[in-house]
């Protein structure tokens, strides 16, 4: 959502306090300990690791997986297709999104993605700030690998640096570490892209469908 303030909580206690005040909260929680604390009815896995890192239907009443790696009906209740094209944003209730191998091939054909993935394990040394206009082949960050080797991450195209992992962030081979918007419009870094709006809209649609069906079931049970 654009123009929405989000507040970082340093602990589950702080998060609980903020939520009671009606604030939108973000918390760094790699082990998802907040699930046991808050018991959410709806869980959306938008990590976009392109594989399931442990999400299951038992984590919430309704679970949604974004992109490849999830099987609808087994891992989550619903999967959202994230590959650009005719099926972008499609709700999948049986099966899975387009596999990562096919997604990469489609992106290469459509030239729609200018994301940069890590060539090796290591940690990132951040460079330019977001919304910075970079030139093609300009160094935007450095990857420190095992053995002391340093690899320069260069921009594949000219454009605006839309995303970049934070300085000192540990990365693994193939992880998306940066994204460049070729439009050279800095404002695009503070607004939702067409793809993100489509995917997030599909998540909202899936939740609305589930909520509506839940209400219908409860009314039917009450009448009986």
Distance CA 216, CA 183 (A): 46
Look up the CATH number of the domain holding residue 120.
Answer: 2.40.50.100
Task: Look at residue 213 and tell me if it is in a domain.
Answer: no
pLDDT value at residue 224: 54
Last residue of a domain, one of 61, 96, 113: 113
Per-residue pLDDT of 15-24, as tens digits, reads 999 999 999 9
pLDDT in tens, 66-121: 999 999 999 999 999 998 889 999 999 999 998 866 555 455 444 444 889 999 99
Task: Flag whether 21 is in a domain.
Answer: yes
Q: Which of 50, 82, 113 is the last residue of a domain?
A: 113
Q: Can you give the pLDDT at residue 46?
A: 93
Mean pLDDT of 144-152: 91
108 and 122 in a common domain: no
Distance CA 186, CA 219 (A): 49
Q: For residues 116 and 154, what is the distance between their CA atoms, to the nearest angstrom? A: 9
Structural tokens at position 198: 């489509």
Q: How many domains, in total, are found in the chain?
A: 3
34 plus 1 within the same structural domain = yes
Which of 68, 97, 113 lies at the terminal end of a domain, its last residue?
A: 113
């Amino acid at each position: 959502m654009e123009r929405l303030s989000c507040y970082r909580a340093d602990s589950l206690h702080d998060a609980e306090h903020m939520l009671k005040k009606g604030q939108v909260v973000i918390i760094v929680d790699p082990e998802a300990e907040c699930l046991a604390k808050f018991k959410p009815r709806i869980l959306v896995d938008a990590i976009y690791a392109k594989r399931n890192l442990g999400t299951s239907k038992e984590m919430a009443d309704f679970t949604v997986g974004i992109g490849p790696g999830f099987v609808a009906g087994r891992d989550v209740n619903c999967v959202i297709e994230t590959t650009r094209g005719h099926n972008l944003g499609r709700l999948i209730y049986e099966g899975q999104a387009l596999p990562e191998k096919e997604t990469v091939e489609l992106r290469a054909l459509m030239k729609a993605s200018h994301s940069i993935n890590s060539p090796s394990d290591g940690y990132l040394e951040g460079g330019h700030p977001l919304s910075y206009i970079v030139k093609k082949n300009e160094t935007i960050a450095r990857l420190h690998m095992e053995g002391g080797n340093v690899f320069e991450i260069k921009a594949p195209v000219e454009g605006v640096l839309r995303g970049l992992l934070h300085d000192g962030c540990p990365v693994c081979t193939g992880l998306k570490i940066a994204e460049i918007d070729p439009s050279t419009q800095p404002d695009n870094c503070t607004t939702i892209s067409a793809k993100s709006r489509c995917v997030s809209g599909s998540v909202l649609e899936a939740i609305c469908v589930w909520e509506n069906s839940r209400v219908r079931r409860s009314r039917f049970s009450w009448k009986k």
